[in-house]
Amino acid sequence: MGIDNNVNFNEKAVIVPFGLEKTVSYGGGTKNGPKEIIRASHQVELYDEELNCEPYKKIGIKTLKPFKIDKNIKKALNKISRVNQEILNKNLFPMTLGGEHSITAGCIVPFIKKYKKICLLHFDAHADLRASYNGEKFSHASAIRRCLDYPNVSLISFGIRNISKDEILFLKKNSSRIKIFWAKDKSKWDLKKFKKMIQNKKVYLTFDVDAFDSSVMSATGTPEPGGLLWNETLNIIKIAAQNSKIVGADINELSPIKGFNSYNFLVAKLAYKILSYKFIS
């Protein structure tokens, strides 16, 4: 099942398309997210005017071919765990393109094993802290809860603006491990505090595209108003990249809309910016 053992990797970053779609509860289509992000990436300008270079030349980015995804969600998550483990074994940086947010519970397992402590930097409209949803404990609505099943995982979330009563109770019981920068408080966010919180930590970044305001990103299953805008989002990621060690990432929940390529392009550019900040800034 190797990730491509015949290739002699010179790249530092590996893009893993993994269009898992098993538990979506509103709009569908996330299984098509990875291929449309990759397609749009060919239109992203390689020169970055902020960083004054062509980051890809300094990084080296390899994109893997799509994997067959098992119909059983637990088996599918085990597979992405094994893929990421192989990438880590090669001392490379994995970025997984989903698919629904459930992928994160599988993606993060090798990092949980490798590091004594790992901080999950989470961008999302939804807390995803439900114990289960519609009878499925590995639901996209439980993605972050499954990560917190591991005691060495802490959480910093940005953009949350949709949460259930049960999730609030869980949040209160686990306040020492969880910090949420609520979307409603965006104008009052203290990013200097965030900088201190994340300083020198090992960080896994998970980005649900519905973190963006629905005016910016409509191509997602559960869009929410009142979310993040482009420049403020990049600023948060940049702070994290400059003050912590980002060790892996995933981007998920893009549901492409035919004829509206701007959404696919936005996510492709987001992926490039995350890698650029990680390796260049």
Q: What is the mean pLDDT of residues 46-50?
A: 96
Structure confidence at residue 11 (pLDDT): 86
3-state secondary structure of 132: coil
The pTM of this model reads: 0.94
The CATH code for residues 13-279 is 3.40.800.10
pLDDT at 7 over 50: no
What are the domain boundaries of the chain?
13-279
**In terms of pLDDT, which residue wins out, 23 or 11?**
11
- CA end-to-end distance (rounded Å), the chain: 34
Q: What is the mean pLDDT of residues 76-97?
A: 96
Q: What is the mean pLDDT of residues 257-268?
A: 96
Closest CA to 201 of 247, 237, 234: 247
Banded pLDDT at 208 (limits 50, 70, 90): very high
pLDDT at 9 over 70: no
Give the lowest-confidence range in 98-112, 123-137, 194-208: 123-137
**In terms of pLDDT, which residue wins out, 230 or 24?**
230
Say if CB 119 and CB 247 are below 8 A apart: no
What phi, psi does 168 have (nearest 5°)?
-60, -40
CA distance 281 to 155: 23
